[in-house]
Amino acid sequence: MVAQTSGNLFGAIATSSPVSTFFRKASTVAVPSGVATTSPIQTNNFWGNLTLGDQTSYVYTHPYAVWMSTLSKFKGLAVSDQDASQRVFGSDNSEKAASYFYMPAGNKCVVLGSSDFEKGMSIKMANLAKLSAEVKLQSAKAGYLSCHLVQGMGFISGVYYDLIPEVHSGIGIKSVSGATSPRTGTNKYTIVLNDGRVWSMYVNFTDNQTCSFALKDNYHIIGSNSINNCSIQLARDKFSSYDSAAGCFPTAVTLKASVSGSTGTYSFNYTTQGSSNKGTSLIYALPHQIESFTSSTSSKKTAATLLDTVHGEMTGYLTNVFEMSESLPTSIGIDPWSSISGWSKPSYTTDEMSKIKAAALIDAAADVYTASNSDSMYFSGKVLDKYAYVLYVLYYVVKDESASKAFLKKMKTAIERFSNNKQTYPLCYETNWKGICSTGGMADGDTSLDYGNAFYNDHHFHYGYHIHAAALTAVVDKALGGSWYKDIKDWVNTMVRDVANPNESDTYFPVFRSFDWFIGHSFAHGITVYADGKDEESSSEDYNFSYAMKIWAQVIGDTNMEDRANLMLAISKRSIGTYMLYNQSNTVMPSKFIGNFVSGIKFENKIDHTTYFGTNVEYIHGIHMLPITPVSSFIRTPEFVKEEWETGPLANLVGSVDSGWKGILYLNSALYKPTLAYQFFISGFQDKWLDDGLTKTWALAYSAGVRQ
């Protein structure tokens, strides 16, 4: 496997076997034959569909969609790229915006194939890495086609080994014509499809080989003879920059990063094959990347642009390095924090302190051990975390040491049920794909139990709550002279490794299971096939994991882990603030959709303004809010929250909500108008308006703490 990270920032957390409390168990989902299993396999990654089921579902490399086509006469690696006019929008919803939109992914615009595949074709997956993978399509009687998948690649490139090349189109081919060759050893063709759209084809020869191409029929372009170690590259449209890059394509990516003070720099460093006039390939960049490019990368911009599936317009760059810079949230810790202009630090009046203390003493009387005794890692984590915030308030806000010590004991006992793996459904180390999974639903394949944790769904959501609860409890314990964090360190670190292992020398977990460094946020979906690609429903529980990792890193003194967490948060702010949270000035997302203010469920090929658990408006908006933490205001800016509340549906909706979502909506309003939130929680408040992951104690402490 090609190295994906380098530098101290990505040093391994640990390389030892997961602690023995996680017993070993194999998933009912087997790894398909032909998928290389020498290293842990990515479960939530962009190329995941090619390792699942019959391995024919779509993979989104952005801007292209690719898949293995097994249809007779169209066998090979199929490619789709669509225009804005082909977007499909759902009817307007109650928020007067399109209820969903997607790109039709199944159009076989072009297919890299071979006449030899008609005698039989099989797939192998090799060189599986976080940011790349190699697809090998093997002929039954001849050679094979090798295609490297890399996010942002400008060409779909295939290297032919002892095959007669053939390019198909399910749309139909109007014409294919030779064009001026950009360089010696490369032949260029222009393909016009029946829908009028144009594709460019480059054929790159080695060892003085030749092969001419002609239209076989309305759907196939056939090569005159077998070729070996020669490549064909296909790209949508006919930009001049394609000529500069033809002959060179990326095969792998190394992620590098460094931190200096509150500035983080990270880069994608592309390993390439072949050569070109420019000495580089062409890589398409997403809008959020372009905003953060350093000058060295910005200068490589071309006129090539293609529309992505759900991320707006991508722009081509002639470069082998994408370098980006971000401002890190280094000032955010465990105290209430706000990005409201003029706010500096939390402070409380005597009256506020009295109300917070009264609420804290009531919440501290809870039986945390029983309350957290759930068959769900998700819900138990939420309960533990909400009470960890109560412990924080008792010690740091109320400053009641006696009450803090008593409640600390309760918290440690409750958390130790999980660190000792004695919960209803214990966690195991799953040995097929390699990771820490719930055993709930694993034996009978029930993906609905605990949101499919056993199948690698939502690990960053679930474990983020547990990690933060343990971290905040350990903070108070250390302040009181304890060293309890040492007892739970291996357990917490193992959860961090499962979700965000930073280094391939840790051979027990894939690198960064959840976080997609190219897209800029995590994906929640695991090892079941989704035709629209990986997805995520809760942006807030995504960055809650990074925040939890940051606080835990402070507890154990791991500055590299803290830097990584800060960098992930900074990237998430930019990405989520572009593709999932919509200021009404957003020009990246479709104008028909930004009136929803939030994405709902974001797939790689579709955004659906709904949730997996219901269509209520408060659900759709609230799942992108909870939990409200010190880092919330960093991602959910006051400007966005104000628009969502006042221009969007929330101000008119909140009065009719009579559930725990009401408390979530009002605490979220503290991100732009803290007094509104604080008054709600002190005036006629009812406990039924508390979400199961929220206490009145934290709601008062946060909303009062960020008031100016």
Classify residue 589: in a domain, yes or no: yes
Pair (490, 390) in one structural domain: yes
Does residue 401 carry a pLDDT above 60? yes
Classify residue 279: in a domain, yes or no: yes
SS3 578: helix
Pair (402, 477) in one structural domain: yes
- The CATH number covering residue 611 comes to 1.50.10
Pair (226, 280) in one structural domain: no
Of 178, 154, 167, 381, which Cα lies nearest the Cα of 278?
154
Asked which of 31-40, 43-52, 171-180, 464-473 is least confident by mean pLDDT, the reply is 31-40
Buried b (16+ CB within 10 A) or exposed e, 571-582: bbbbbbbbbbbb
Last residue within a domain, chosen from 224, 247, 270: 247
Classify residue 598: in a domain, yes or no: yes
| 51 in Cβ contact with 35 (< 8 Å) | yes
Res. 36 pLDDT band, cuts 50 70 90: confident
Q: Burial, 54: exposed, middle or buried (Cβ in 10 Å; 0-12, 13-18, 19+)?
A: exposed
Does residue 1 carry a pLDDT above 80? no
Pair (190, 121) in one structural domain: yes
Pair (153, 298) in one structural domain: no
Q: What is the pLDDT of residue 3?
A: 39
Q: Please report how many Cα atoms fall inside a 13 Å half-sphere around the Cα of residue 580, on the Cβ side.
A: 33
Token look-up 């500035």 returns 263
Pair (290, 399) in one structural domain: no
- The CATH number covering residue 89 comes to 2.70.98.30
Res. 6 pLDDT band, cuts 50 70 90: very low
Residue 448's CB is within 10 A of a number of other CB atoms, namely: 8
CA-to-CA separations, 568 to 126, 265, 520, in angstroms, rounded: 28, 11, 8
Last residue within a domain, chosen from 213, 247, 281: 247
| Per-residue model confidence as pLDDT tens digits over 281-337 | 999 999 999 999 999 999 999 999 999 999 999 999 999 999 999 999 999 999 999
Classify residue 337: in a domain, yes or no: no
Share of the chain above pLDDT 90, in %: 97
Q: Which whole number is the average pLDDT over 246-269?
A: 97
Does residue 2 carry a pLDDT above 50? no
Last residue within a domain, chosen from 247, 277, 298: 247
Residue 550 and residue 560: Cα distance in Å, rounded?
10
User: Alpha helix locations (H) across 166-286?
Assistant: 240-245
Contacts of residue 500, defined as CB under 8 A and 6 or more positions apart, other chains included, come to 460, 512, 513, 514, 515, 545, 549, 564, 568
**Which residue range forms the structural domain that includes residue 310?**
252-327
User: CA torsion sign, 379 to 479 to 477 to 555?
Assistant: positive
Pair (426, 380) in one structural domain: yes
Pair (428, 466) in one structural domain: yes
Pair (494, 642) in one structural domain: yes
Helix (H), strand (E) at residue 199: strand 198-204
The active-site residue, picked from 363, 532, 541, 691, is 541
Structure token digits, residue 93: 């919803």
The active-site residue, picked from 506, 537, 542, 618, is 537
Q: Which whole number is the average pLDDT over 150-161?
A: 98
Classify residue 341: in a domain, yes or no: no
Q: What is the pLDDT of residue 4?
A: 43
pTM recorded for the entire structure: 0.97
Classify residue 226: in a domain, yes or no: yes
C-alpha distance across the termini of the chain, in Å: 52
Say whether 537 is catalytic: yes
**AA letter at 611:** T
Pair (553, 661) in one structural domain: yes
Pair (376, 311) in one structural domain: no
Asked which of 3-7, 90-94, 142-146, 389-393 is least confident by mean pLDDT, the reply is 3-7
Token look-up 């944790």 returns 453
Pair (225, 278) in one structural domain: no
Instruction: Provide the number of structural domains found in the chain.
Output: 3
Res. 242 pLDDT band, cuts 50 70 90: very high
Q: What is the pLDDT of residue 443?
A: 87
The active-site residue, picked from 458, 532, 618, 691, is 458
User: Alpha helix locations (H) across 420-458?
Assistant: none
ω into 18 cis (within 30 of 0): no
Classify residue 23: in a domain, yes or no: no
- Mean of all residue pLDDT scores within the chain: 97
Classify residue 294: in a domain, yes or no: yes
